[in-house]
Structure 1
Amino acid sequence: QPGDIVAVESPSFPGILQALEVVGLRALEIPTHTAEGLSLEGLELALEQWPVKACVVVCNHSNPMGARMSDERKQQLVLMLAVAGVPLIEDDIYGDLYHSGERPKPAKAFDHTGNVIYCSSVSKTISPGLRVGWMLPGRYMASARQHKYFSNLATSSIPQMAVAHFLEQGGYDRYLRFARQNYRQATERMRTAVARSFPEGTAISRPQGGFVLWVQLPAGVSGTLVYQLARAENINVAPGLMFSISNKFESCLRINCGNPWSDRIDHAVVRLGALAHEVQARSI
């Protein structure tokens, strides 16, 4: 209901924060680690102190950090929320884009009470223009059906049929093998380029999937100012402030690695690093 509190990762994808704001819900930010994901200790403390009504988590390759929770921590998350009677809304949109090994399990795999509302989509794998997604709402099926009916009645049939055909013919599996390799190489290449070009002391995430890097600049270096200077030169990155409702992550940037590597991107990273050095020099 409007005014209710929803626990979210911090940093969190801006689209999630905006979606909560539009329907009048309040986001409660829970600290998140670049490797381990959502802090379970932080969430436990929040559940004790606040009347949390739901929790939204991207367990596999979150945006912007690229974090992936271990199976053990996913189990703990599901159990903790089930005991508290708080539904877990799991966004598994990047789950298929793991860089190596086996496909990571969603938290839904450990749900024995129907308390996890699982959501995913082809918008980050096949094409965002298809606008095709799905959910497994567990014990909230009746409410989910009602909300879907009120929001837009139904999803267009033609895109759904196209996706179904792609899946049935094996095209999706073949494409994913190609995409995972490309994203892994692109992410590693971008990470190397950032480490080479940015000021000493810059911390860079090591995602196991997806195609984004979370970059924390040295103390005193404004990521927002770097973003503004870069934007003036048509270099597109996301400032850390976008991923919080409480003005956190001023010294951070999110860099998208999804585009094919080119000389243009290489030059842009070098220039971005030069801008970061310039901002650092101003702050001294």
Structure 2
Amino acid sequence: MNEIKEKEAWVLNGYFGILLIAILLAGTVLCFMEQQLIIGGICLILAIVLGSGVTMVQPNQSAVVIFLGRYMGTVRREGIVLTVPFSVRRTISLRVRNFNSKRLKVNDVNGNPIEIAAVIVFKVIDSAKAVFDVDRYEEFVEIQSETAIRAVATKYPYDNFEENELTLRGNAEEVSSELTTELQDRLRVAGVDVIEARLTHLAYSTEIAQAMLQRQQASAIISARKQIVDGAVGMVQDAIDRIEKEGVVDLDDERRAAMINNLLVSIVSDHGAQPVVNTGSLYQ
């Protein structure tokens, strides 16, 4: 496939062109009135030829000029311009646009079915590529966006309580950045620049939502318990070391074990520990 790059089309100031057409039309009328039909006919033909090249380009739009099946260039100058006569001009919007994808059902890296959707912010930067390198670039953007969303969603788990692991729910910035890069690689051929891509919807599929919610709750409880136990062990270790360092009481192995047990129970327990007063000694 021959790659087409955007180039500037031949243009003249549109107001000058309209003035020239008006002069030719006036000359045509005068020539016909004076029975100079040949000159009048030439002026009329020239006016028609020039008039066929008059076009209007709005701000943040471009006009792709095609003459006899050949790309002649792109007009980006806003306002009324005079370009190649008898050419076809295809108007392309250069404005920033949003595309909201449908809710797609895909499987994450663990095989769990999820629903995901995203909004894509893009604009056309090369009108020639948008017209000639792809067929209906708006549909191309839509299809490639959904394909990129599926590709990125299958690389990560929906959620995970393991440390240092990227997830769709917990690392939205990283996932959005990768989605933007993936989309830019796919849409570059269409002359489209991807400004931003953001997830707008992320959830487990309805058929497993309840089960995965219970799994999330169980994983959260386990993770919290682990953190509590790690903190409790550190607190007990600090307490024992301080007691022995300051000589508050001499602890043998049995007393140390009993104190560790009591401290861990009081810290880790879900409910407030109830003190038990021992009126005897540890060995009675």
TM, length-normalised to structure 1? 0.17
Q: If you compute each CA radius of gyration, which structure gives the higher value, 1 or 2?
A: 2
Using CA pairs under 8 Å that are at least 6 residues apart, name the structure with larger relative contact order, 1 or 2. 1
